[in-house]
Amino acid sequence: METNFLTDLMLPISLGIIMLGMGLSLVPADFKRVALYPKAATVGLVNQIIVLPLVGFLLLMLIPMRTPELAVGIMILAACPGGPTSNLITHISRGDTALSITLTAISSMIVVITIPLVVNFSLRHFLEVGEYVPLPVFKTIVSVIIITLVPVIIGMIIRAKSPGFAARMSKPVKIASGALLFIIIIAAILADKENFVNFFRQAGPVALALNVTMLLIGYFSARLFKLRIDQSITISIESGIQNGTLGIAIAATLLHNPTMTISPAIYSLIMFATAGVIIAWMNLRFKGKEISVR
């Protein structure tokens, strides 16, 4: 992540392609769906926007790191929304895919405002004065809009104008998105491979604890509010599966700190492992039968 070619060009392009793919799957009704599921949408968004950063911060207080940049990286990840990957995992796990798409779409808009606030708080708390440059709020908002919301809007316009083309491109773009995410994670790791084992020992336990805690909070908070099983699965996944690519992009392109990219990369690796467990468990539990909507 140290080369300008990777951070200034390839990473934003890769994130743009991933978000374009998300836009190709969206229609205006996905945003209107909040009115149909107000309770489910509220629980999901509160978990993503408020609870996730709070839990991340509390875990960092309980499990302090010797490398403060890794702690900031965890908070950057915690400030990110769910990504397109969460929609796919929800579908395979037999959750409410429509609700997942809605939560991802709306949270991606809200975090445009919350990301600079959470990140600046984290920089001030974990780093000493003089060790960091605060993110300029307005410039950061514009940057996040350009690399996330603009591609989504373009994808939605393409789908509205040419639904057939959007449908044909959906699978190739999803495959490309998955491949790019993998490449980005590996690039973040290789950028500081000499220290990766040490960094993993520090950030790995916090990343795992954050991921598992949010998956559990998402599921049981949904059940507490008497949401359906499929909606509870969705909120669990949306609470624990985050847009790691965006986290890496913020650390690399806006903060220009390769060490901070390691934590989102580690979290992304862990979340794929826990997602595999969820997929296997849900499909085994409901094999050959429909999930109850009660």
Task: For residue range 28-81, list pLDDT tens digits in order.
Answer: 888 887 788 899 999 999 999 999 999 999 999 999 899 999 999 999 999 999
Handedness of CA 207, 44, 114, 121 (dihedral sign): negative
Domain extents in the chain: 4-280
The CATH code of the domain at 4-280 is 1.20.1530.20
Say how many residues make up the chain: 294
233-250 b/e (C-beta count within 10 Å ≥ 16 → b) = bbbbbbbbbbbbbbbbbb
**pTM, full prediction:** 0.87
pLDDT at 290 over 80: no
- The predicted structure's pLDDT at residue 294: 46
All residues at 6 or more sequence positions from 87 whose CB lies less than 8 Å from its CB, including other chains? 22, 25, 97, 100, 101, 104
Task: For residue range 138-189, list pLDDT tens digits in order.
Answer: 888 998 898 888 988 998 999 999 988 888 887 787 777 777 777 777 777 7
Q: What is the DSSP string of 35-70?
A: HHSHHHHHHHHHIIIIIHHHHHHHHHHHS--SSHHH
